[in-house]
Amino acid sequence: MTTTATNKQVTLKDYVSGFPKESDFDLTTTTVELKVPEGSNSVLVKNLYLSCDPYMRTRMSKPKPSTALAQAYTPGQPISGYGVSRVIESGHPDYQKGDLLWGIVGWEEYSVITPTPQVHFKIQHTDVPLSYYTGLLGMPGMTAYAGFYEVCSPKKGETVYVSAASGAVGQVVGQLAKMMGCYVVGSAGSKEKVDLLKTKFGFDDAFNYKEEPDLTAALKRCFPKGIDIYFENVGGKMLDAVLLNMNPHGRIAVCGMISQYNLENQEGVHNLSNIIYKRIRIQGFAVFDYYDKYSKFLEFVLPCIKEGKITYVEDVADGLEKGPEALVGLFHGKNVGKQIVVVARE
């Protein structure tokens, strides 16, 4: 019986400044023992799907004290992120060979992990596409659910604006808001994405921010009565324009700021005094503060998928060697929907 296997890995060459490039990564091959050490509670998994997420950019920079939510990557080591994996060998009482899980794994064919509550989740429902656990049923879906229901406190009939609306999180937020009976507008960076928002995800309206010389006017046009809720994924000039269009007692859930991640000096926001005049609540949040609600989330979302009330679009890159290109593409808006990398399909 084979006791070792080759293990392709994606490693970070060095800390990144500015926009990441494919050349910032190496594809290396090493070998892995196909068993876990005697008496350990670790688990050997075969990685099937890997998730490309904007927050990963913050992990590529030289570590700064207290700014990042997740630890910086180590140059020369495999990068890590959310993935869907199958257990090959287990020393952990909660996991058996053949089990499926989603959570943090290395960008490699095989990973040895120590399953940790709220970091790794056993997959119980396999009657949906497994890749959904990198997106709709994983971290991005949970982010949309927690951010919209817990942070935005939505009410039926309110107006909701979502930036980066066709991405992994935005597409779910828009659909949740429509189910709640809200008026929903999204922005994205191409005609194809804008069409998707209106035809596939049921947004009431959508616009291509790249074609709007004046973002404040674009929002005024889409929201003549103002914005009650803004689900923030972008930051920068977009946040400035939104502040001028918010309604009194509006809520802004700050999920991400992809426009700022590659800048050495982040852009300022100029219209902050509106927070006072309009009594706006701006709240940042991180999904891992809400993982205790994950089973409640599944109870809600699984029936929605089966009844066709929620749909999800994925952009699939085939093969681990396509990982760097897919990950870098996020920061140029190349992905249409949730970007995933298929490492293996079985």
Q: What are the φ and ψ backbone dihedral angles of 227, each rounded to 5 degrees?
A: -110, 125
Cβ atoms of 84 and 130 closer than 8 Å = yes
Round the average pLDDT of the chain to a whole number and report it.
92
Do residues 162 and 233 lie in contact, with contact meaning Cβ atoms separated by under 8 Å? yes
Q: Residue 291's CB: how many other CB atoms inside 10 A?
A: 16
For the ranges 71-80, 141-150, 260-269, 333-342, the lowest mean pLDDT is seen at 260-269
Does the predicted model carry a pTM greater than 0.85? yes
Residues 125-184 have pLDDT tens digits of: 999 999 999 999 999 999 999 999 999 999 999 999 999 998 889 999 999 999 999 999
Q: Are 185 and 161 in contact (CB under 8 A)?
A: yes
User: CA 47, CA 345: separation in Å to the nearest integer?
Assistant: 9
Residue type, 64: K
Q: For the residues 105-128, what does the mean pLDDT come to?
A: 91
Structure token digits, residue 259 = 């426009």
For residue 161, list its beta bridge partners: 185, 230
pLDDT of the residue at 68 = 63
The predicted pLDDT at position 66 comes to 62
Q: Note whether 49 and 343 are within 8 A (CB).
A: yes
Q: Is 181 exposed, middle or buried (0-12, 13-18, 19+ CB in 10 A)?
A: exposed
pLDDT reported for residue 37:
82
Q: How far apart are CA 300 and CA 220, in angstroms?
A: 34
H helices present in the chain, as ranges: 139-145, 170-179, 191-199, 215-222, 237-245, 274-277, 294-306, 323-329
Which pLDDT score, from 0 to 100, does residue 91 have? 85
User: Among the listed ranges 28-37, 122-131, 160-169, 205-214, which one has the minimum average pLDDT value?
Assistant: 28-37
Q: Where does the pLDDT of residue 47 fall: very low under 50, low under 70, confident under 90, or very high at 90 and above?
A: very high
Checking if the pLDDT of 261 tops 80, the result is no
Q: What digits encode the pLDDT tens for the residues 291-328?
A: 999 999 999 999 999 999 999 999 999 999 999 999 99
What is the DSSP pairing of strand 80-90 with strand 100-106?
A: antiparallel
d(CA 139, CA 317): 19
Sign of CA dihedral 266, 270, 276, 277: negative
Q: Over 60: is that where the pLDDT of 225 sits?
A: yes
pLDDT at 268: 85
The mean-pLDDT minimum among 46-55, 185-194, 259-268, 270-279 falls in 259-268
Q: What is the mean pLDDT of residues 36-62?
A: 90
pLDDT computed for residue 3 by the predictor: 87
Whether 10 shows a pLDDT value over 70: the answer reads yes
Would the pLDDT of 5 be above 60?
yes
Query: Which tokens go with 266?
Result: 């982040």
pLDDT of residue 265: 79
Give the pLDDT confidence score for residue 212 in this predicted structure. 95
With bands split at pLDDT 50, 70 and 90, how would you rate the model's confidence at 84? Answer: very high
